[in-house]
Amino acid sequence: MQDDDNERHKIEAPVWTEEQIKKRRQRNLAIAWTLAGFILLFFVVTIVKLGGNVANRPM
């Protein structure tokens, strides 16, 4: 009985094929590049908006 229950509730780990792993890596790289671009965009716009005042802060 206990064994039956265990069997019923067992979670099957997904088995990834080579192709799926390749696509996952590709997706992860796309996300990484997008995030890097997003950070760069915020950095550049901040510089553009602040202009010469970037370095102007009280010590």
Partner 1 sequence: MSDTAYSNDRPEVLRQGGEGSAGDFFELLKPRVMSLVIFTALVGIALAPGGIHPVIGFTALLCIAVGAGASGALNMWYDADIDAKMARTANRPIPSGRVAPQEAAVFGSILSVFSVMTMGVLVNWVAAALLAFTIFFYVAVYTMWLKRRTPQNIVIGGAAGAFPPMIGWAAVTGSVSLESLVLFLIIFMWTPPHFWALALFRSGDYEKVGVPMMPVVAGERETRRQIMIYSVLLVPVTLLPGLMGFAGALYTGATALLGFVFLALAFRVWRAEPGLRQDKAAKGLFAYSIVYLFLVFSLLLVERLLGL
C-alpha 43/C-alpha 5 separation (Å) is 55
Q: Is 54 in the site for partner 1 (CB under 8 A)?
A: no
C-alpha 37/C-alpha 31 separation (Å) is 10
Position among 29, 36, 40, 50 found at the interface with partner 1 (CB under 8 A): 29
Position among 13, 26, 56, 58 found at the interface with partner 1 (CB under 8 A): 26
Q: Is 48 in the site for partner 1 (CB under 8 A)?
A: yes
Position among 36, 40, 42, 54 found at the interface with partner 1 (CB under 8 A): 42
Q: Tokens representing 45? A: 């716009």
Instruction: Tell the residue number behind the tokens 């390749």, with chain if given.
Output: 22
